[in-house]
Each structure stands twice: as C-alpha cells, then as structure tokens.
Chains A and B, each alone.
Chain A
Amino acid sequence: MKKDDRTMNTATLASKLSVGLHAEQAQPSASAQLQGIQVSYGAQQVLRGLDWQLLPGQVVGLLGRNGGGKTTLLETLLGLREPNAGSALLFGQPVAGLDDATRARIGYVPQQADLFEWLTPAQLLAYFRSFYPRWNEAKVEGLMSRWDIARDKPIAKLSGGQKQRLSIIRALAHEPDLLVLDEPVASLDPAGRRDFLRELVEQVIDRGTTVVFSTHILSDLERVAFNIAFLSQGRIALQAPLDELLETCRLVTGPSGQLQPLLQQPGTVRLAAQALDGGRERWLVRFSAALPELPPVLLGQAPTLEDLFMELTQ
C-alpha cells in the first residue's frame, strides 16, 4: 500500500472519527445538526461542506485558528447567517424558521460584549425578560451580586469583563437547553474565568444543557470541555472526547521509512505529518485503544492540547 493511500486527510477523518457526523448516523434527538454547510464571503469560502452534530448534554469546545470560521459556524448554527448550501437544524427544526418554544431553549453569548450600551444592566435584563416564558430571577440576582455588577450603571461605563459577565448572565437567565458561547471568556481575568467555568459546570452542564463554546484559552477547555472539535479548512477536522484524544494520540518522530509500518496496525490513523531535517518526520498519530510498543528508533510523545491544536488546525 502506498503511503498516500494510507494517509487520511482531516476531512476524511471527520467522517471516521467524529461523534456522529453523518446524517445516517444522526440521532433524531440531536440538539443541533449541520449538514453540508457552505458559507462564502464573496470569493472566500469559509465553511466547505461542513457536517456537525451536537447531542443533548454534550459539552463541546470549538477550536480553530483566527479567521478560521468559528464565529461564522456558530452564527450559521443559530440561523443568524444563511449558508450558501446545506441544512442546519436546531432541535429538529430548520434554523431559518424556529418557533418561539425552540428559541426559548437557546442561549447565546456573542463575541462582542459591548452590546446595548445605552441601557443599564437592570433595564437590559428587564427588556429580555419580557420575551422569555421562563426566567430565573433568583439566578440572575445571585450572579449579579456574586459578579459585582452595578444594576443601574450604564452598560457603556462597565469594564470589558463586567460587560462580558452581564452578557453571560443574560444568556443563562432563561435556563437554555442549548448554550452557544463565542469566546465567552476572552475579556475576563483569571478570577472571572474561574467563576464563569464554575457556573458553567455547576449549573449548566449538570442540568444536561448542550454547550458549545469557542475559545483560544486551552487551559479552560481542558477544565470543562468533554469534547473538542477542531475546525480546519472550513470543516470539522476532528471531534472526540478530550481524554480519549490525549490517551490515544501520540507525536511520533523518526525516519520516514520506520514510521510507515505504524499505519499497518488496525485502527491507526495519521492525523498530521511534518517533515524534519535528515529524512526524519514527525507524525501525529491516533491509535486504537491499545497503544503499541514503538521500535527504539522512533520517539513517541504524548501530545498536549496545544500540540493537537497546532497540528490539527493548520
């Protein structure tokens, strides 16, 4: 077998390794399901036939390079952006025509925190409360006090972190079943991030809420996300539970000829490869559950999440 035949590109991997990406594998109860999504800005194609599925209670961290299409993907998922092709369903409904009951099940924290700056936090929350059939006032009050947000100060005068926290409170207040967060902790300090993650774990994830959030802060993902999805070249290159990825993936360095036999083991897939000096290469390999004994000429190394990010999102 030739080397290239056994090398899977990331798109092919998605179909093999990700959690139920294809329609035939889809479960009817999926919280969100995207199929064949294509989005372009003029000539620039951002999403290229992307398939993705979020199951109830799943917590997914979305990783991708800057400008890689994470925000576009999340906006398409919510029906805020019309795809050029493909279909998007939320709780079984096309996103372009969500009924009110379904919309009440969605919470969204956009990337921009500087929203509704002409209002005060109290006015903003009262305004949004008027639209939702369910609103947890006790939770709102608790978070407002705990996160020390002045109720009657204009939002324009809050700090970036406070605006972000307010945005999170607004999204959590109606206790959504699907929570979409676009870089929610970008403008929070470490204490704010810790509080937010604690809230996410204690109150949201424990309720069985489906959560998808994009971030560049990998340590936060390691703390919270049970699943990691890598967005690369307009597709979900790989989605898998984080623990499983860290256990089954290895960075293997050695002479090219010695690396090839690795692929002959059943269930072994090369995720990425990088040429080094002196005819050597470094591969990111995903093995089946049992890690093989590597020959002495090969150097095996357990990857960090950062390694996976660098290799899988280029």
Chain B
Amino acid sequence: MNTAAYQLILAHGVQQRRNDQGWRTLGIVAALVFAAALVVMIWGNAQGARFVGGNLLMMVVGIYWGGLVVNLLLQNQPNAARLVPGHVARLREVLVVSWLLASLLMTVALVVMTGAVMRQGLSPLPAWLVASWGMAMLGLLMRWPLGWAWLSVLPFLGVWLARQGLLAEAANLLQNRPALLALVSLVLPPLLLLLVVGEGGERHRQSHARAARWREYARQGAGAQALDGSSLPRPLAWFSWLTNGPYRQRLRQLSQRRDAASVGARLMLGLGPATHWTAQVSGAVIFGAIFALVCLGSIWIPVPFVDFMRAGSFGLTIGLMSALLGPLTGLGRTLVKTRNEQRLLVLLPGVPRGAALNRLLAQRWLLQFGLTWLLGLVVAVVVMGFSGAPMELLLPFLLAYLLPIVMVWRDWARLPSSGQGSVLLVFCVIASALLGYALYKWAGVPLWLFASLQVALALGLGCLRWRRQMAAPQALPVGRLA
C-alpha cells in the first residue's frame, strides 16, 4: 500500500507550521507541560500526576483532533473534490483512522483523569463511548459551527434524561448487548464523520465558502465584531450588529478629533476591532447574553439557584475570562492579520515611531488587559463568594491569565506569520491552572503561596519583557523582520 499520499495529507498542517517556523513555541509549551507533570510527580503523589497528566492529554488530543479536522476541511476544496482522483476517499480514510486514534487516546485520558478525582473512575467501556462520540461531535462541529449553539442545550437535556431514568436504561441496554454497543460506538460515529468531507458540487461550494467566512469570523472576530454581519444567518447578523456598536461608536467619536492627545487612541482603532478594548465590551455582552440564557434555563431544573451557580462556577469563570481576555490570547494572530494596514498607520502624521511607539503599545495593552483581568477577577470572586464555589480550583485559573498579559511585551517586529498560536497560549493558561490546583490538592502547597509565586513570576517576566520591548525594533508593522 502506498502510504505517501496519506502522509502528505496528514503532514499538511505540520508543513504549514514548519514553513512558518512555529516549532519553537510548541517546544516551549511541551517543556512547560513536561515540567508541570514532573513537579507534581516529584512531590510524590501519583494521584496528582494522574490528574494533571490526564487533563493535559485530553487537551492535547482535543486540540490535535480539532486542528486536524479543520486542516482536512481546508484541503477538501470543491474543485479538488471533483477533479483530483481519489482525493475525497483519501481524506475520508485519514479522517476515520485519525478519529479512531484520537478516541482511543481520549479514552485513556478519561480513565486516568476520572480515576484521580473520583473514588471510582470511569471504566474503559463507558469512557470509550464518551470519547468516541465526543471526538465525532467535535469533528462535526468543525464542519457545521452553528451546532455549537445547540451544545448549550446538552446539559439541560442530560439532566432531563437522567431524571427520566433514560440514561441508566440506555447504559444497561448497551452493557447487555455488545453488538449494539459496537454499532453505537464504532460504526455510527465514523459514518457521520464521512459527511464532513464534501464531494464537490454546488452545495459543497456553498458550504466551503460559508466555512471560510466562519473561519474568518473566528480569526478576526475576537469579540464577534470584525465581520460584516450581513453575511451571517439572521439572528447572528443582528447580534453582530449589536456587538459592532462599541467599535463603531468609538470610531465615530475619534474620527472627529485631530488633537495630539488622541493619536494613541486613534492608532489603536486602526489596528482593527479584534484587538481593541471594545472587543472586550462585546465579549462581555455575548457572555452576559449566554449567561442570562443559562440562568433562564435553570428555572426548569429543580435545584436552588445558589447550588446551580456553585456547580457551574468553573464553567462560568472559564467563560467569563475567555470572553474578556479572548482579544489578549488572540493578539498575535490578529496583529499579523492587520500588518498590511499597519504599513499605512506608521506613515500617518502624529503616530510615534521607534521606542516611543513600543512604549505606547506596551502601556495601552497593559492598561487594557490588566484592567480587564482585574474586572474578571472581581466578578469571579463575587460569584464564588455568593455561591460558595471552591476557590482552590478557580483562583489558579484566574491567576494563570497574568502570564499572557506580560506576554504582550515582546519583539513584535519578529513575530512569525502564524502569530504564535492563541490556542497554545490558552493551553499554557490551563496547564498552569491545573498545576496550581494539583500542587494545592495533593502536594499541600497553600493557595497564598502559589498565588504569590504566580504574581512574582509574572512580575519578573514582565520586567524582562518590558525591557526587551523597549529595546526591540519598532513594533509595527509586526513580523517584518521575522
């Protein structure tokens, strides 16, 4: 069997990254993860190591699988699907085999992780069921992103099914009938996944164009405000119009001004809406709307509101911080996206150059993201106080965001064109949070000590990076020296 064609399909994403010289970041992240696991294991607690290791494995597999599907979708161009012999079949084979591999790894991660936090963790069979369907669903959502909206229904559906006793019945049925189990977990998910790869034609062309718009939306629109809403389905178009409001308003105000004091604010507008502070306002609006919907949904659950909040506090905190600090983790990527615009901006009268420009950007980003982080911290602590949610899990997560804040001080002129992946930055945040939790839970490190270390690390790193940015070549246009 000639495997070269399959290797090329799988290597597509890797080649993209290698061409972009993005391996250094991956190396740093891998070293961080390894160091985290090592630290916990040195403290001599296998349970902690399993917790951290299991979570990290889940993240790595999830990110890899999601990235692979997106990459296969990029390769699945309508013209190639029609004209290149065997292209569709090969893409499908790679997809199914990769799904199998990712599901197996996810099963291992689930067993390891749940074994660390529960007295009796998931046994391999249910873990496999969850993993295989989870991976298949993730693949389908990469193809049909509107499905993410339906995910918010899942927790309520799960509660309803459990209350009706249907979940237990289904579990019994599957345990007693291996053939049915095999069908449900081994045959149905890959069959559904085959739909992900289009075969050319008008429908495929339309969906490919739609997917490209979505990718653009996701890439530019941290804060959902960068894309013209009229190209979206009606409810989202309306929502997009709403979230565009703060940026439009600010643009209208500042375009009237010509004074030197407003040059910095006008420059930041020109860098695009996705990096602007109004993106965070939009993020807060989106988060608030989703949160309100979830609260509304909780009326149908016979659980006191405080308990509901406590149970959902982890998701709430992650959602809040992701919404508020999405522009921070995506800063590199969005600046790469607007580097052609930056060529015009630096020629404008009044816009500082050299070290003065670096200082202006460093100060504004510190203010913008530092204040937002503080706001997120206060809201999360208030919610935790109100609901009595465990601080030991959430505080390390909140503190972990200090790292990306100081990461905005860097030599932007040498930024690689990949923008040094925002996903990897989020990965670092979560890895750091997990490490903090594990240290507290199993190594007996007090929270205050971990928090102090985290703050000290951020301050130390911040000092170094601030000096580096001040001494670096002019930041804009980004990546011109890479």
A: residues with CB less than 8 A from B are 75, 78-82, 96-98, 100-101, 103-104, 106, 108, 110, 112, 114-116, 118-119, 123, 126-133, 154, 156-157
Contact = CB atoms under 8 A, between A and B. Distances in A.
A108 B344 contact: yes
A118 B273 contact: yes
B272 interface: yes
Nearest to A125: B255
Given A80-B480, A82-B481, A110-B340, A131 B257 contact: no
A61 to B, nearest CB: 21
Nearest to A104: B349
Nearest to A81: B480
Contact of B348 (A75, A103, A110, A116): A103
A26 to B, nearest CB: 23
Given A79-B346, A118-B273, A127-B269, 5 more contacts: A80-B343, A100-B349, A118-B225, A130-B258, A131-B350
A157 B227 CA distance: 11
B44 interface: no
Contacts of A101: 349
A132 B480 CA distance: 26
The secondary structure that dominates the B interface is loop
A100 B220 contact: no
Contact of B349 (A96, A103, A108): A103
Interface in B345-365: 346-351, 353-354
B255 A126 contact: yes
B332 interface: no
A131 B473 CA distance: 24
Interface string B247-268: 0100100111110000100100
Minimum-distance CB pairs A-B, first 5: A100-B349, A126-B255, A131-B348, A154-B228, A103-B349
A97 B266 CA distance: 20
A41 to B, nearest CB: 9
A131 B266 contact: yes
28 contacts: A75-B343, A78-B347, A79-B346, A80-B346, A80-B347, A80-B480, A81-B480, A82-B473, A96-B353, A96-B354, A108-B343, A110-B340, A118-B220, A118-B226, A118-B273, A126-B255, A127-B255, A127-B266, A127-B270, A130-B255, A130-B256, A131-B258, A131-B348, A131-B350, A132-B348, A132-B349, A154-B230, A156-B228
Contacts of A157: 228
A70 to B, nearest CB: 15
Contacts of B341: 115-116
Given A126-B255, A156-B228, A110 B343 contact: yes
Contacts of A82: 473, 481
B427 to A, nearest CB: 28
Contacts of A123: 248, 251, 255
Which residue among B220, B230, B263, B348 has the maximum number of chain A CB atoms within 10 Å of its CB?
A: B348
A100 to B, nearest CB: 4
Interface string B429-447: 0000000000000000000
B54 interface: no
B237 to A, nearest CB: 13
B477 interface: yes
Interface string B216-259: 00001000011110100000000000000000100100111110
